[in-house]
């Protein structure tokens, strides 16, 4: 595999770098650098800047408003955006449900939803996990019973990220209770404003409430909102999970975090020394950096395969496992690097103005909430234990 970029790709990389330098709003960059909370308006503002440039949906085909970029161009774009510390594009609409609608949806569904997703006009959330059906997703119990031109949906979803902001939710529902677990499941789109939909926040150990419970009480959903054939939703779900797990790796953002760790560790302390003088800490940084280099090379192999027309399969599980573990390792190094300035465990530390005038580095106080929040990464999108099982079956056939 030739890792040298062609002159055209180097020019493309430089164009992306120049765009981020010139277009990323200073207040957003400052918030991210300091680890402050980003709200819906922050994410929407950045996504609309990308939309104006034509870059908000790099993985979409050109016919639907995407870039038409090659897999390597998409890799370069994601890498540069992440390394620059720009906000993440919220994935539920652009990265997750949109590809499913493109592949399995009707023409009416494409006309209705894709332009609104592209323009960040409609925000989505994911209705997969349920109490008792998380890693064992096929055990879900939310029912959808056909009544004429509608389904009547009853049940509960949990750990629903950003449901408090969402206009629509894509859900897995059981449409045939007598079928085997993976059968009898359908993929359906539900307007969150429908009567009978309610959202209850879940306050997590970092003090945040970005995840929620969503309840469905006799919610009537048009039958036209089923994506793909009835009872074939597991096929759609697996297709979506491949996109989600690949996206979780977020390699560019991990590189940005690694650079921050090095910068903080190299700063001179009160004793005139720096943390980089500690050989044990240097070794831990080196271990993480080597893992990051190996993960980057793995992603490039997958990109090369995709360029040859081979979509990612079980490799997505490998990216999810290692990417999530690296994200956790980096938050551990960050909080250790700032020492006691990172001790406050308060959600308020992530809000603008909390530490004014600042005591210690202005980026230190939010690190404890970030550390606790990142404990979730090895669980969501299918726990890493489940992903190892997928890889074992793929590689060893059992």
pLDDT of residue 66: 95
Q: Is residue 243 in a domain? A: no
User: What would the pLDDT profile of 136-162 be if each residue is shown by its tens digit?
Assistant: 888 999 999 999 999 999 999 999 999
Q: Is 152 helix (H, G, I), strand (E, B) or coil?
A: strand
How far is residue 26 from each of residues 33, 43, 47, 164, measured CA to CA in Å? 10, 14, 15, 27
Is the pLDDT assigned to residue 205 strictly greater than 80?
A: no
Contact in structure between 107 and 74 (CB atoms under 8 Å): no
Structure tokens at 360: 């210690």
Structure tokens at 44: 């929407």
Name residue, tokens 């977020």: 250
Q: Decide which of 183, 205, 231 is a domain's last residue.
A: 231
Mean pLDDT of 67-76: 91
- Residues 340-348: contacts with CB under 8 Å, at least 24 apart: 341/365, 342/367, 342/368, 342/371, 343/368, 344/368, 345/206, 345/207, 345/369, 345/372, 346/207, 347/206, 347/207, 347/208, 348/207
pLDDT of residue 268: 64
- Mark whether 214 and 259 lie in a shared domain: no
- Mark whether 255 and 219 lie in a shared domain: no
- Mark whether 83 and 134 lie in a shared domain: no
Q: Is residue 94 in a domain? A: no
- Residues forming a β-bridge with 152: 145, 220
Is the pLDDT assigned to residue 368 strictly greater than 90?
A: no
- Mark whether 283 and 389 lie in a shared domain: yes
- Mark whether 212 and 265 lie in a shared domain: no
User: What would the pLDDT profile of 5-20 be if each residue is shown by its tens digit?
Assistant: 889 999 999 999 999 9
Mean pLDDT of 273-286: 90
- Residues 312-317: contacts with CB under 8 Å, at least 24 apart: 312/242, 312/246, 313/242, 313/394, 314/390, 314/391, 314/393, 314/394, 314/395, 316/241, 316/242, 316/245, 316/246, 317/245, 317/382, 317/387, 317/388, 317/390, 317/391, 317/394
pLDDT of residue 28: 92
pLDDT of residue 10: 94
Is the pLDDT assigned to residue 75 strictly greater than 50?
A: yes
Structure tokens at 299: 């992603």
- Mark whether 45 and 175 lie in a shared domain: no
Q: Is residue 242 in a domain? A: no
Residue 38 or residue 3, greater confidence: 38
User: What would the pLDDT profile of 217-273 be if each residue is shown by its tens digit?
Assistant: 999 999 999 999 999 999 999 888 766 556 667 888 899 999 989 988 888 666 667
Is the pLDDT assigned to residue 300 strictly greater than 50?
A: yes
Question: What is the Cα–Cα distance from 358 to 143, expressed in whole angstroms?
Answer: 52
pLDDT of residue 363: 74
Q: Domain residues for 196?
A: 123-231
- Mark whether 201 and 316 lie in a shared domain: no
Residue 260 or residue 302, greater confidence: 260
Which of 93-107, 261-275, 287-301 has maximum average pLDDT?
93-107
Q: Decide which of 197, 231, 265 is a domain's last residue.
A: 231
pLDDT of residue 348: 64
Q: Is residue 98 in a domain? A: no
Is the pLDDT assigned to residue 290 strictly greater than 90?
A: yes
How many structural domains comprise the chain?
3
Q: Is 331 helix (H, G, I), strand (E, B) or coil?
A: helix
Q: Decide which of 72, 89, 106 is a domain's last residue.
A: 89
Confidence band for 311, pLDDT divided at 50, 70 and 90: low
- Residues forming a β-bridge with 130: 133
CATH number at residue 196: 2.40.110.10
Report strand pairing: 168-174 vs 150-157. unpaired
User: What would the pLDDT profile of 161-195 be if each residue is shown by its tens digit?
Assistant: 999 999 999 999 999 999 988 899 999 999 999 99
Torsions phi, psi for 150 (to 5 deg)? -135, 160
- Mark whether 82 and 131 lie in a shared domain: no
How buried is 62 (Cβ within 10 angstroms: 0-12 exposed, 13-18 middle, 19+ buried)? exposed
Report strand pairing: 168-174 vs 185-191. antiparallel
Mean pLDDT of 19-41: 89
Percent residues over pLDDT 70 in the chain: 90
How buried is 119 (Cβ within 10 angstroms: 0-12 exposed, 13-18 middle, 19+ buried)? middle
Q: Is residue 109 in a domain? A: no
Q: Is residue 53 in a domain? A: yes
Is the pLDDT assigned to residue 87 strictly greater than 60?
A: yes
Is the pLDDT assigned to residue 1 strictly greater than 50?
A: no
Structure tokens at 338: 């700032």
CATH number at residue 262: 1.20.140.10
Q: Is residue 213 in a domain? A: yes
pLDDT of residue 247: 64
pLDDT of residue 128: 94
How far is residue 274 from each of residues 36, 188, 260, measured CA to CA in Å? 26, 55, 14
- Mark whether 326 and 386 lie in a shared domain: yes
Question: What is the Cα–Cα distance from 264 to 316, expressed in whole angstroms?
Answer: 32
- Mark whether 295 and 213 lie in a shared domain: no
- Mark whether 253 and 213 lie in a shared domain: no
Q: Is residue 220 in a domain? A: yes
- Mark whether 380 and 253 lie in a shared domain: yes
pLDDT of residue 266: 87
251: Cβ contacts below 8 Å, ≥ 6 apart: 78, 79, 82, 292, 295, 296, 299, 323
């Amino acid at each position: 595999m030739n890792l040298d970029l062609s002159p055209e790709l180097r020019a493309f990389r430089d164009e992306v770098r120049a765009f981020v330098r010139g277009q990323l709003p200073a207040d957003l960059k400052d918030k991210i650098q300091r680890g402050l909370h980003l709200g819906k308006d922050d994410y929407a503002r950045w996504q609309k800047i990308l939309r104006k440039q034509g870059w908000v949906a790099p993985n979409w085909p050109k016919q639907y408003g995407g870039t038409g970029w090659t897999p390597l161009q998409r890799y370069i774009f994601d890498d540069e955006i992440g390394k620059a510390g720009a906000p993440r594009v919220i994935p539920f609409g652009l990265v997750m449900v949109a590809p499913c609608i493109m592949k399995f949806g009707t023409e009416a569904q494409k006309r209705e939803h894709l332009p609104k997703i592209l323009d960040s006009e409609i925000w989505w959330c994911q209705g997969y996990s349920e109490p008792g059906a998380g890693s064992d997703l096929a055990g879900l119990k939310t029912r959808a019973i056909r009544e004429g031109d509608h389904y009547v949906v009853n049940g509960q979803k949990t750990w629903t990220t950003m449901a408090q902001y969402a206009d629509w939710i894509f859900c897995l529902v059981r449409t045939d209770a007598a079928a085997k677990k993976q059968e009898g499941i359908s993929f359906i789109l539900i307007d969150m404003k429908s009567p009978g939909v309610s959202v209850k926040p879940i306050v997590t150990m970092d003090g945040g409430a970005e995840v929620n419970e969503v309840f469905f009480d006799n919610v009537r959903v048009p039958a036209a909102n089923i994506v793909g054939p009835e009872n074939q939703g597991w096929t759609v779900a697996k297709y979506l999970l491949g996109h989600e797990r690949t996206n979780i790796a977020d390699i560019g953002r991990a590189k940005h975090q690694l650079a921050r760790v090095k910068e903080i560790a190299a700063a001179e302390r009160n004793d005139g020394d720096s943390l980089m003088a500690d050989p044990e800490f240097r070794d831990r940084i080196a271990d993480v950096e080597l893992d990051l280099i190996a993960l980057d090379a793995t992603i490039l192999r997958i990109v090369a395969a995709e360029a040859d027309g081979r979509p990612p399969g079980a490799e997505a599980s490998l990216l999810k496992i290692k990417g999530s573990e690296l994200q956790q390792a980096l938050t551990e190094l960050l909080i250790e690097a700032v020492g006691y300035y990172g001790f406050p465990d308060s959600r308020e530390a992530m809000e603008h103005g909390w530490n004014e005038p600042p005591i210690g580095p202005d980026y230190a106080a939010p690190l404890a909430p970030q550390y606790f929040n990142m404990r979730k990464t090895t669980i969501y999108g299918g726990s890493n234990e489940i992903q190892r099982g997928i890889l074992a079956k793929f590689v060893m056939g059992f």
